[in-house]
Amino acid sequence: MRLYIDSIGRDVDIDIEYKRTSRYLLSVTPDMNVRITCPLGAKTFEINRVLDNAKPWIAQRIKKLEKSIILGNESLSSGSYIYLFGDRKTIDTRQGKPKVLLEDDSMIVYVEDESKVKNTFDKWWKNLAEKTFSDIINKQSRFFNDMCLDTPSISVKKMYTRWGSCNKRLNKVNLNSYLLSLPYECIEYVIMHELAHLVHQNHKQEFYSLLVKYMPDWKQRKKVIDDNFLLCKKS
């Protein structure tokens, strides 16, 4: 099935899936196709109506994909690339003792067995993420003192729908390992955002006032993320 969208001037492919659900779910894949999950027994005219109503959202998402750096869809083969602290690094896999080295614009992944590239890279990436995020959090001692908070524990994992979250009760911050692809100042913003949620769990004025106090330029940092980076899991 294909759907023509006026605002982008072309057709897009539609992948329809039926599940035991009471609502329709829409997503746009990294290759800019549309996936729609429908209730069992949904009629064709109902699906078409949902898609027609969703055209503005689909067009907006596709335009975002066209101009964004897509994270969560990476390849680790030689010649592919990945972003680290906002800089594009070309992957170079080589034979040798397992390790990852940075050399100018290259990220060299040494492995004894080609099948171990992903494991070697993932381990190195997570270790670097944990160290980087911990260093940033540890620099916020004034914030913790002012708020009478203990330094929170952190959990690092791959996420495809959010950069981070927090658990006030456990005094824990969950951070997306893909944050490591963002410029350093953007990583600082996401972490400060989650730390502020340890005090205010909503997005009311008190939350933003706290954010401004400890990071006056947070809006500019957030804009860099919103304008340039997009999480999108490989289909």
Question: 122-231 maps to which CATH number?
Answer: 3.30.2010.10
pLDDT higher than 60, residue 235:
no
The C-alpha angle with vertex 187 and arms to 185 and 192, in degrees rounded to 5, equals 95
Tokens 């959202």 label which residue? 57
pLDDT in tens, 117-149: 999 999 999 999 999 999 999 999 999 999 999
221 close to 188: Cβ distance less than 8 angstroms: yes
Could you tell me which of 175, 174, 173, 171 has the C-alpha nearest to residue 148?
171
- Structure pTM? 0.79
pLDDT in tens, 54-92: 999 999 888 887 776 778 767 788 888 899 999 999 999
Residue 148 to residues 66, 138, 154: CA-CA distances in angstroms?
A: 44, 15, 18
The letter for the amino acid at 102 is L
Sequence ranges of the chain with CATH classification 3.30.2010.10: 122-231
Write the DSSP symbol of residue 222: H
Tokens 């290759």 label which residue? 31
Percent over 70 (pLDDT), the chain = 98
Q: What was the pLDDT predicted at 234?
A: 59
